[in-house]
Amino acid sequence: MTRKKCVRCGKVRIVRKKGKHIGLCESCVTTFLSNQRKKLDYTSRKNQYNKINKNYVRNKLIEIINLKEIKQILTLESSDFLFAKQLPNKKVFVFEHAEKEFKKMQKIKPKNVRLFYGDVSQSKDIDNIFDCIYLDFCCGITEGLFTISQIKNKIEDTKLFGVTFCMRGFIPQECDYQFEIQKRLYEVLEIPLIPLYGYTYRDNHREGAIMITILFEIPKELKGGKL
pLDDT recorded at residue 46: 47
* 169-214 pLDDT, tens digit each: 555 554 567 788 888 999 999 999 999 999 888 766 555 678 889 9
**Structural domains of the chain sorted by starting position, each given as residue range(s) with its CATH number in brackets:** 2-47 (no CATH), 52-222 (3.40.50.150)
pTM of the predicted protein model: 0.74
6 pLDDT more than 70: yes
* 34-51 pLDDT, tens digit each: 666 655 444 444 445 656
pLDDT recorded at residue 18: 76
220 pLDDT more than 70: yes
Query: What percent of the chain lies above the pLDDT cut of 70?
Result: 81
pLDDT band at 102 (very low <50, low <70, confident <90, very high): very high
With contact defined as beta carbons under 8 Å apart, do 81 and 46 qualify?
no
pLDDT recorded at residue 2: 63
